[in-house]
Amino acid sequence: MAKARHNIDIEFLRQLDRYNMAIRKRVSAVYAGNRRSTRVGKGIDTVGYREYYYGDEMKDIDWKAYSRTEKLYVRQFEEEKTLTAHILLDASKSMDYPINAITKYEYAAMMALAVAYSVSRKNDKYAISTFNEEIDINAPKRGMRHLLELTERLAEQTLEGTTDMDVVTHKYERLIKSRSLVVIISDFMEDFKHIESTVLRLAGNDLILIQILDPFEKDLPIRGDSRFYDMETGDEMKTYISDGFRNNYLRELERHNAAIDGICKKTGAAFYSITTDVPVFESFLRIIDRSG
């Protein structure tokens, strides 16, 4: 049974204030200051038009163009260079593990809020959108009030369904208007082809993949007769855990993660694998420093 309310502790966020310079260095590859750019974004001068997508602001719609074509178009402006962070958080049933300790979802949610908090300190925009086989899109906004609202929403999140990262990122990518910081937080326990498609689709941004695993999943520290349940489908499997079984499992996990790391390195993205027994603050500092 899923928890009625997730335990998401944000007290550690205060510690991040001491590392503001390191955080800005981490995102400097995306944007450096608030200088004018000819990229499409928000500004004063109209530079063109494009078809309306869900999530666009109604005030940007050109109604004269609609009266001529009966199609919705939005004005595109000269961009003011500010950072936008798009954080995609896995809320599938597999993240609701384990039952009697901090779950992968709770840890992942705190990591997502750490990214959002760091971005908000410079008054830049951020969004945390949750997904399974579908995605609950949250538009990027500024400010600490938005962060508190997101914290409450994530604490009430229902974890259900399976994961289809390929489908949800295909839907989400059209909402990214210019080069942005994109962070995907998941256990990444799905078909590698879906993950590969996701990375290739979003590689034009500063892309970070953060894998969250429970230490049990990382090491499989058991022997003998065992019973496993698929968190997403509810299927049960009884098996005997021998040394050979454990070694095969660890090899497959290593192969899977090596494939993810390989496509990330090929495209300039970054991949981190983290277990929930490491304090969130320590894990976040490792991620914002690429040389760490």
Give me the number of domains the chain comprises. Answer: 2
Residues 72, 88: one domain? no
What residues are paired with 76 via a beta bridge?
A: 48
Residues 109-164 pLDDT 10s: 999 999 999 888 878 899 999 999 999 999 999 998 999 999 999 999 999 999 99
Q: Does residue 98 have a cis bond before it (omega within 30 degrees)? A: yes
Contact 272, 210 (CB under 8 A): yes
Residues 62, 41: one domain? yes
Residues 36-54 pLDDT 10s: 343 444 444 455 666 766 6
Q: Which two tokens stand for residue 195?
A: 């993950």
Residues 240-276 pLDDT 10s: 577 787 888 899 999 999 999 999 999 999 999 999 9
pLDDT of residue 224: 63
Q: In whole angstroms, what separates CA 230 from the centre of its chain?
A: 23
Predicted model pTM: 0.78
Residues 98, 241: one domain? yes
HSE, side-chain direction, 13 A CA sphere, residue 191 = 10
pLDDT of residue 80: 46
Residues 137, 262: one domain? yes
Residues 20, 150: one domain? yes
pLDDT of residue 46: 52
Q: What domain range includes position 187? A: 11-32+81-288
